[in-house]
Amino acid sequence: MDAGPGLSIVSKVLPATYGLDGIRRVLLEGRGFAEVTEPFVILLIMLGVLLPFSLWVFGRAVRRAKREGSLIQY
């Protein structure tokens, strides 16, 4: 069953796709680390881009919550 080109594009931007691909290659196909470098490198690139962005978003959210006093509710 074909998922279609739309889902294929979406799967290319999800880190889980590459993580699961690497795990599948190692555990099910018995490949070594040298054969899993492609998904590993892609995951490192995603980490380099997404980690600073997520820390920036988290910092903004904490500043806003402190300013509004909304953390006291929880």
pLDDT, one tens digit per residue, over 12-30 is 889 999 999 999 999 998 8
pLDDT at residue 3 tops 70 = no
Domain residue ranges in the chain: 5-73
| pLDDT (tens digit per residue) in 34-50 | 888 999 999 999 999 99
Nearest to 34 by CA among 42, 18, 22, 44: 22
How high is the mean pLDDT of the chain?
88
pLDDT reported for residue 74: 55
Using a cut of 0.75, tell me whether the model's pTM lies above it.
no
- Concatenated DSSP letters of 33-57: GGGGHHHHHHHHHHHHHHHHHHHHH
Is residue 22 a contact partner of residue 41, using CB atoms and an 8 Å limit?
no
Biggest CA-to-CA distance, the chain: 53
Residue 68 reports pLDDT greater than 80: yes
Cα 23 vs. chain centroid, distance in angstroms? 15
